[in-house]
Copies of this chain bind each other. A is one copy, B any other.
Amino acid sequence: MVSSPSDARRQEIIQAVWVLIAGGGIERVTFRRVADQAGVSVGRVQHHFGTRDALVLAACETMIDLAHDRYQDLPEAPEERLRHILLHAIPDSDRARFGASVWHAYLSKSAADEEIAGLLAEAKRGTEEEIARLLEDAGGRGDKLLADGSLRAARTLLAIADGLTVRVLIGDLSGAEARGLLLAELRRVRGSTDQGNSP
């Protein structure tokens, strides 16, 4: 994972990249500023990542891996995992806001960078599938959410979470409001009886 001395150095640098992105977008990321933020020399940054683009891309990959690792470290209870996977992107702490800012910076870049778009797409799809799985496992109504329905429900819930995250990021919704609405929607999806889409 992240064990060799070299990897530790890379990690320090990548953290500095995140700080810069959260503070002012990807355009803030330059070798000199990253080195400054990390408290290392420009040469070190350049040695480990070669080009600016490679640095930005590596920081994106690491962000996704880290989110994945954090999710894996959660308790196994589907109930709890479901809450986490849906709510974790909605900023209500500085830490969460930080993550959401960085994520959206990459999201914006993905419009012009296919490689980053691919990374984000893979991550999103994985999240969606995991939500669907959790909905089935933790199903409040075992009979309600079958294969097809659970994927649709997962897609809807994830979209709501992403959409609300945007609202919180630009500051016209509080984190608490967004979480409240999202949890209500989760309850609706898992308990209501409509949704009948199989003959």
Interface window among A1-9, A43-51, A130-138, A160-168: A160-168
Whether A109 is near chain B, meaning CB under 8 Å from some CB there, is: yes
Which of B22, B111, B197, B198 touches A22 (beta carbons < 8 Å)?
B111
Instruction: Chain B residues near A25: list those with CB within 8 A.
Output: 26-27, 108-109, 111-112
What 1/0 mask marks residues of chain A from 174 to 199 whose CB sits below 8 Å from any chain B CB?
Answer: 00000001000100100010111111
How far apart sit A101 and B111, CA to CA, in the bound complex (Å)?
A: 6
Q: How far is the CB of A106 from chain B (nearest CB, A)?
A: 8
Given A159-B160, A162-B166, do A172 and B121 touch, yes or no (CB 8 Å)?
Answer: yes
How far apart sit A110 and B118, CA to CA, in the bound complex (Å)?
A: 24
Q: Count identical subunits in the complex.
A: 2
Which of B27, B155, B158 touches A26 (beta carbons < 8 Å)?
B27
Give 28 pairs: A residue, B residue, CB < 8 Å, sorted on A.
A22-B111, A24-B112, A25-B27, A25-B108, A27-B27, A101-B111, A104-B107, A104-B108, A107-B108, A107-B166, A107-B170, A110-B170, A111-B169, A114-B171, A117-B171, A118-B171, A120-B170, A121-B170, A124-B172, A155-B181, A156-B160, A159-B159, A159-B160, A195-B197, A196-B198, A197-B197, A197-B198, A199-B199
